[in-house]
Amino acid sequence: MRFSVYQESRIGGRKSNQDRVAHCYSRDALLVVIADGMGGHLHGEIAAQIAVEYITEAFQREGRPKLPDPLLFLSRALTNAHHAILDYALDRGLPEAPRTTCVACVVQDNVAYWAHAGDSRLYLIRQGGLLVRTRDHSRVQMLIEQGAISEAQAAVHPSRNRVFSCLGGNHSPQIDYSRKTPLKAGDIIALCTDGVWSPLANGAFISILAENPVAAAVPEILAQAGKLAGSSADNMTLIALMWEDTYVGEVSASIETQTMPIDTFTTQLEKFGKGLSPAQMAELSEVDIEDAIEEIRTAIQKYSKQDTP
């Protein structure tokens, strides 16, 4: 495999960052995943952390060096992440389980597979144009499809932040799965939370990704989204990868996996605590953070044992 990938998350105008993002790859398979947590007093962050960390660890267990069935992997990983969040809430005696959106994408054998719940999005861009965009599980998306409101009206609709599917919460998630999607050299896959896509027009988002290396495009998109949203900016998280299945030209940021040992992985995932704002850090003790980390590990480990093939 040969690809370029870049991820970044910004707090925006919020007191905390409840978004989480990671990518992980073996010699023959690649995973990118993003989550947008919902819930107060660390619980949204923890839900998103459990989802991203669980899915990443499941990939490391099964992708040696690639997954036997990528769609089955996504189904099992997202479903078990959902139940791990419910277990966290049960162990803490919470009246309602925290929630998180989630998008996860696997690429292997030059084919992409993805799954999502909520209104975080995946975009597939080919030759400067939008090929695929996931459908939001949201109230405003339903209104758009019914012809009740326009895209422009959706951007300011009072229900724009209401989702009807997520991991966690009190209802089973609706998880949508892609078809097998063969990739071509130059294709761009981007995953982002609603804090990124909501302020931006699709055209601006796509053109920046299509015209720049991902390491330059991601910060530029986040900067524009933050500027347009102003002081009310949501958490903004974006990961983008450019797929390169040929050796035509040299791209300095490219990752080449062919020489990787068969059972090794490279992962970029920030551990819990690094995404906390200075205000949160001032309110929480080291014991609070250590307890949260231990609770995350406990929730993940229970379902990791069940999910071993």
Query: Which whole number is the average pLDDT over 282-296?
Result: 71
User: Which tops the pLDDT comparison, 255 or 198?
Assistant: 198
Q: Which domain holds residue 22?
A: 2-306
b/e for 68-81, b at 16 or more Cβ within 10 A? eebbebbebbbbbb
The sign one gets for the Cα dihedral 225, 228, 230, 232 is negative
Residue-wise pLDDT for 7-26, tens only, equals 999 999 998 899 999 999 99
Name the residue among 220, 219, 222, 212 with its Cα closest to residue 186: 212
Per-residue confidence band for 156, with pLDDT thresholds at 50, 70 and 90? low
Number of domains present in the structure of the chain: 1
Indicate the range of 156-170, 266-280, 287-301 predicted with least confidence.
Answer: 266-280
Residues in CB range of 169: below 8 A, 6 or more apart: 96, 97, 98, 99
The phi-psi region of residue 32 (left if phi > 0; otherwise alpha if psi is between -120 and 50; otherwise beta) is: beta
Cα 240 to Cα 248: distance, rounded to the nearest angstrom: 20
Indicate the range of 179-183, 198-202, 252-256 predicted with least confidence.
Answer: 252-256
In DSSP terms, 70 is beta-bridged to none
Residue-wise pLDDT for 37-91, tens only, equals 997 767 899 999 999 999 999 999 999 889 999 999 999 999 999 999 999 999 9
Query: Which whole number is the average pLDDT over 227-249?
Result: 85
Token digits of residue 264: 């090794």
State the chain's mean pLDDT as an integer: 87
pLDDT at 240 over 90: yes
CATH number at residue 272: 3.60.40.10
Q: State the pTM of this model.
A: 0.84
